[in-house]
């Protein structure tokens, strides 16, 4: 290690700044609770390492040289950065600082659970920078597995990658979206059998994940087959196509809180007509900030 680097240490710079404040070696030594000869030796070592005289020694005291003024300004910045480094690393280790990339299906933000969770995270840990990434379920699973995102809110996973862990987030009833003027809109609920002959609008997820899987399982129990006639990428497209009369859609209950004008939502009557959101994360990538996020869920 460079000898000059060890000689110009943060501790020695802090001693130098104390002398700068007092411009009196005896008072500085008293303030630092060290012997005056020891303080003088610290300053001498610093000057030798820097190759510059930092103080004018006069009969009535000391004052800074031009090099001393430059050293004082640089030392103040350096010690501030040094303190920031220590505080920052400790905060990151405690999960109080850092970055989180949170993936989610679009419907996760339509209820209050996930937005409230984000609010709690920002209130408790305002220095954690959160980036949201909306993706399909299959893309979210892939991104978590590849460590491209830290944690994801996914819906109705049947198979979890071996390197991942999950936690149930919320289970919701499934509802049927339909136009207000649809012949079935006057009912209090709807069964799979009542809607199986109507075109269905769903998301572009593989058949083994998401609400489409739950709906197909319910249909099969009733001796039916119910697959989407239309597949879209976001909930806005579902709203638009249902309103335009292309078909019906089955969504989680949280989606019904933000229905646009002209649409109705009726619960599916089957007891197992439910959808569960899960937190999914990679066990090989658990940062302190992610741990705090999971704990607050």
Q: How many domains does the chain have?
A: 2
Phi, psi at 184, each rounded to 5°: -90, -5
- What is the domain range of residue 260? 101-278
Whether residue 60 lies inside any domain: the answer is yes
Nearest-5° angle of CA 265, CA 271, CA 272? Answer: 95
Whether residue 261 lies inside any domain: the answer is yes
Q: Which tokens go with 8?
A: 């110009």
The CATH number that applies at residue 82 is: 1.10.10.10
Phi, psi at 158, each rounded to 5°: -95, -35
Closest CA to 293 of 123, 86, 140, 148: 123
- Secondary structure of residue 97 in the 3-state scheme: strand
Assess whether 114 and 245 both reside in one domain.
Answer: yes
Assess whether 208 and 119 both reside in one domain.
Answer: yes
Assess whether 176 and 193 both reside in one domain.
Answer: yes
β-bridge mates for residue 172, sequence order: 275
Assess whether 88 and 105 both reside in one domain.
Answer: no
Nearest-5° angle of CA 275, CA 222, CA 203? Answer: 40
- Secondary structure of residue 101 in the 3-state scheme: strand
For residue 268, what is the DSSP state? B
Whether residue 283 lies inside any domain: the answer is no
Task: Tell me the whole-structure pTM to 2 decimals.
Answer: 0.68
Whether residue 217 lies inside any domain: the answer is yes
Q: What is the pLDDT of residues 228-285, one digit of tens each?
A: 888 888 888 999 999 999 999 999 999 998 899 999 999 999 999 999 999 999 999 8
Assess whether 145 and 243 both reside in one domain.
Answer: yes
Whether residue 288 lies inside any domain: the answer is no
Q: 92, 121, 151: which is the final residue of a domain?
A: 92
The CATH number that applies at residue 268 is: 3.40.190.290
- Secondary structure of residue 24 in the 3-state scheme: coil
Helix (H) or strand (E) holding 93: helix 66-93
Q: Contact 120/281 with Cβ under 8 angstroms?
A: no
Assess whether 169 and 48 both reside in one domain.
Answer: no
Number of C-beta neighbours around residue 204 at 10 A: 17
Query: How does residue 208 score in pLDDT terms, banded at 50, 70 and 90?
Result: low
Assess whether 115 and 67 both reside in one domain.
Answer: no
Q: What is the pLDDT of residues 163-205, one digit of tens each?
A: 999 999 999 999 999 999 999 999 999 999 999 889 999 887 7
For residue 259, what is the DSSP state? P
Assess whether 56 and 142 both reside in one domain.
Answer: no
pLDDT of 206 > 80? The answer is no
Whether residue 240 lies inside any domain: the answer is yes
Assess whether 138 and 85 both reside in one domain.
Answer: no
Q: What is the pLDDT of residues 50-81, one digit of tens each?
A: 989 999 888 777 889 999 999 999 999 998 88
Whether residue 228 lies inside any domain: the answer is yes
Q: Beta strands of 125-256 (E only): which ranges?
A: 127-134, 151-155, 164-179, 200-203, 230-232, 248-252
Assess whether 235 and 106 both reside in one domain.
Answer: yes
Number of C-beta neighbours around residue 43 at 10 A: 19
Tell which wins on pLDDT, 34 or 3.
34
Whether residue 16 lies inside any domain: the answer is yes
| CA–CA gap between residue 275 and residue 149 (Å, rounded) | 23
pLDDT score recorded for residue 4: 58
pLDDT score recorded for residue 264: 95
Assess whether 126 and 73 both reside in one domain.
Answer: no
pLDDT score recorded for residue 92: 66
Q: 92, 124, 146: which is the final residue of a domain?
A: 92
Beta strands 164-179 and 97-104, pairing class: unpaired
Mean pLDDT of 280-296: 90
């Amino acid at each position: 290690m460079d000898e000059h680097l060890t000689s110009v240490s943060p501790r020695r710079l802090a001693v130098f700044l104390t002398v700068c404040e007092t411009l009196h070696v005896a008072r500085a030594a008293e303030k630092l609770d060290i012997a005056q000869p020891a303080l003088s030796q610290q300053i001498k070592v610093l000057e030798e390492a820097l190759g510059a005289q930092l103080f004018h020694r006069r009969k009535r005291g000391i004052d800074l040289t031009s090099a001393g003024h430059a050293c004082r300004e640089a030392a103040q910045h350096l010690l501030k950065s040094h303190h920031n480094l220590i505080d920052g690393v400790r905060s990151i280790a405690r999960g109080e600082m850092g970055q989180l990339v949170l993936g989610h299906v679009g419907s996760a933000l339509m209820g209050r659970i996930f937005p409230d969770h984000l609010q709690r995270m920002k209130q408790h840990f305002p220095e954690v920078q959160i980036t949201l990434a909306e993706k399909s379920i299959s893309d979210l699973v892939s991104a978590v597995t590849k460590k491209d995102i830290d944690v994801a809110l996914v819906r109705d996973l049947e198979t979890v990658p071996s390197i991942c862990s999950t936690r149930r987030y919320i289970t919701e009833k499934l509802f049927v979206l339909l136009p207000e003027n649809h012949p079935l809109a006057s009912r209090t609920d709807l069964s799979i059998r009542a809607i199986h002959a109507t075109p269905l609008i769903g998301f572009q997820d593989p058949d083994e994940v998401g609400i489409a899987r739950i709906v197909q399982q319910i249909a099969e129990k009733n001796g039916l087959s119910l697959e989407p006639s239309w597949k879209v990428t976001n909930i806005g497209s579902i709203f638009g196509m249902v309103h335009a009369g292309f078909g019906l859609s089955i969504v989680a209950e949280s989606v019904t809180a933000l229905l646009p004008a002209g649409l109705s939502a009726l619960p599916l009557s089957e007891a197992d007509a439910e959808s569960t959101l899960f937190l999914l994360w990679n066990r090989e990538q658990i940062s302190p900030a992610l741990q705090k996020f999971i704990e607050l869920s």
